[in-house]
Amino acid sequence: MKISKTFGKTFGLAVLLSATAFAGAEAHVTFLDREATENSTILATLQLPHGCDGKATTEVRVKLPEGFVFAKPQPKAGWELEVIKGDYQKTYDNHGDKVKTGAVEIRWKNGNLSDDFYDTFVIQGKVSGVEAGTSLAFPVTQMCGDTVEAWDQVAKEGSDAHGMKSPAPLLKVVAGEDHGHDHDDMAGMDMSGMTGMGAAAPAGETVKAGDLEVSGGFAKAMLPGQPVGGGFFTVTNNGQTDDRLLSVTSPAAGEVQIHEMVTKDNVMRMRQLKDGIAIAAGQTVKLEPGNLHLMFQKVKTPFKQGDSVPVTLTFEKAGKVELVLQVLSAQGK
């Protein structure tokens, strides 16, 4: 078949323009899953495809819209995390509790994501009180040192957003079959066969090592696909000598980090404690939600309520201690 040069040029130009438009669309900051079911708890996963004009991304800020509530960001190794809290416009029900305040902005800071790489930033939250057909906008500020890119343009109702240079990522609320998962919907792993590690005690019991007593261990249930989980316990030093929790490992995760969360002036900051936690003589240290805690990274299978998670705690003086964390609900009950 013979094709005219004019047709060939026209066809080639059309393909080029189509490819360019596609590349431009993919260059925007978007959600991995752009739909969420009404009144569902989801993992809102933002895709960051590039830096700023070739520069590495060092900070990502996400403003949360009204109707996306009880938000919890997923920590990222090598990044500091800030959660800005404020008042909701409405009051929301959280398992019987009336909630009027919560996270309104999430910031991942002091990272280094090269322009050569792609990454995702994840926020767990609940879509509440939003009608199907509504699109929630999540304005994003991407910072690359002194260079700033704002993905915050929102089309007026009935307008087309495709021509916008810097559109805000949108999450469309839909009815019908679940695109997200609520807490009661979680599926996870049965780790009961992994508890036979040395002299590990059953979940909830006290483990003694020298002058230390470790008790009250538990972990929180996770959403399907969530790679990060939290763990908690209490350590009492009954001796006359200070000790220190140096590190934690678990067969359930690729890495376990020790974190501290501090809230000041409505800003919550979380950082990794690379030097561990001091356990002073005669003192009790409690790892609990909103304070000191374990952060399970690269979890192989999300923790499911009723399961148990074995961990190995390494102390400077007491040595290694085997502990089993009972997996409670996502609310820690």
Placement of tokens 């009180």 in the chain: 129
Asked, for residue 10, whether it belongs to a domain, the answer is: no
Do residue 227 and residue 79 come from a single domain? no
Closest by Cα among 177, 190, 175, 97 to 134: 175
Consecutive H or E run containing 13 = helix 5-26
Closest by Cα among 71, 75, 94 to 84: 71
Average pLDDT, rounded, for the chain: 83
Average pLDDT score over residue span 269-296:
92
Bridge partners, residue 173, by sequence: 36
Structure tokens that stand for 70 in this block: 């009880």
Identify the domain boundary among 158, 183, 208. 183
Q: Is the pLDDT of residue 245 over 90?
A: yes
Do residue 97 and residue 237 come from a single domain? no
41-94 pLDDT, tens digit per residue, is 998 999 999 999 899 999 999 999 999 999 999 888 778 889 999 999 999 998
Q: How far, in Å, CA of 71 to CA of 293, rounded?
A: 18
Bridge partners, residue 277, by sequence: 245
Asked, for residue 96, whether it belongs to a domain, the answer is: yes
Do residue 33 and residue 177 come from a single domain? yes
Identify the domain boundary among 183, 214, 242. 183
Q: Residue 275: which domain range?
A: 192-328
| Domain of residue 90, CATH code | 2.60.40.2230
Do residue 53 and residue 158 come from a single domain? yes
Check the CA dihedral 159-161-163-165 and report its sign: positive
Q: Is the pLDDT of residue 190 over 50?
A: no
Minimum mean pLDDT range among 23-37, 107-121, 268-282: 23-37
Cβ contacts of 124 within 8 Å, gap of 6 or more: 41, 42, 43, 44, 71, 72, 73, 74, 223, 226
In the chain the first and final C-alpha atoms are separated, in Å, by 72
Closest by Cα among 296, 309, 303 to 188: 303
Placement of tokens 């960051």 in the chain: 48
Asked, for residue 19, whether it belongs to a domain, the answer is: no
Do residue 176 and residue 134 come from a single domain? yes
94-132 pLDDT, tens digit per residue, is 888 999 999 999 999 999 999 999 899 999 999 999 999
Do residue 52 and residue 170 come from a single domain? yes
Q: Is the pLDDT of residue 203 over 60?
A: no
Structure tokens that stand for 222 in this block: 């996770």
Asked, for residue 108, whether it belongs to a domain, the answer is: yes
Asked, for residue 152, whether it belongs to a domain, the answer is: yes
135-187 pLDDT, tens digit per residue, is 999 999 999 999 999 999 998 765 666 678 899 999 999 996 544 444 433 33
Bridge partners, residue 54, by sequence: none
* Number of structural domains in the chain: 2
Do residue 65 and residue 83 come from a single domain? yes
| pLDDT range class, residue 205, cuts 50, 70, 90 | confident
